[in-house]
């Protein structure tokens, strides 16, 4: 039998749609891409970020394609431009992605970094509730 404190924590996590499983990286199909998986409200949301010009480190702007998916729903695909900062190690942007198209009533607040033509998700915050996923 589990201690009462463990049961209370499990109940709170279940009520907020979180599980004890942390964000997990999913395999990326392209070297300019990154993939992460997050448990949100009982579903697993896959987030893939791909840099459109992964081989063009000299470009002033990089177009990132975000693909978010949940099993049983059509994927949500968005394009986000990232301005390159001359001399910077990496360039970053933020993007708020409403998840309604995936059947979820939340928004992901993403911090995206581009370095050497590769896109990666640095931070993910689930709102409302300000739940740090990554």
Residue-range domain boundaries for the chain? 18-132
Tokens of 104: 């979820």
Give residue 57's pLDDT.
Answer: 53
pTM of the model: 0.74
Note whether 13 and 19 are within 8 A (CB). Answer: yes
Farthest CA pair distance, the chain: 60
By CB atoms closer than 10 A (0-12, 13-18, 19+), residue 69 is middle
Give residue 48's pLDDT.
Answer: 97
Sheet holding 24-25, edge to edge: 24-25, 33-40, 43-51, 61-69, 76-83
Residues of the chain short of pLDDT 50, as ranges, are 1-28, 54
Give residue 56's pLDDT.
Answer: 55
Give residue 19's pLDDT.
Answer: 41
Give residue 119's pLDDT.
Answer: 92
Cα–Cα distance for residue pair 40/13, rounded to 1 Å: 11
Note whether 95 and 79 are within 8 A (CB). Answer: no
CA-nearest of 129, 74, 133, 128 to 101 is 74
């Amino acid at each position: 039998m589990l201690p009462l404190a463990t049961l209370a924590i499990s109940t709170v996590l279940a009520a907020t749609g979180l599980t004890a499983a942390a964000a997990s990286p999913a395999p990326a199909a392209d070297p300019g891409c990154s993939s992460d998986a997050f448990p949100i409200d009982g579903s697993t949301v896959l987030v893939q970020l791909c840099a459109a010009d992964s081989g063009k480190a000299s470009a002033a702007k990089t177009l990132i394609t975000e693909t978010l998916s949940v099993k049983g729903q059509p994927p949500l695909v968005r394009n986000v431009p990232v301005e390159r900062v001359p001399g910077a190690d990496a360039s970053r942007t933020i993007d708020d992605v409403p998840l309604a198209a995936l059947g979820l009533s939340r928004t992901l607040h993403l911090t995206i970094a581009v370095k050497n033509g590769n896109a990666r998700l640095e931070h993910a915050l689930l709102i409302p509730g300000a739940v740090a996923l990554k």
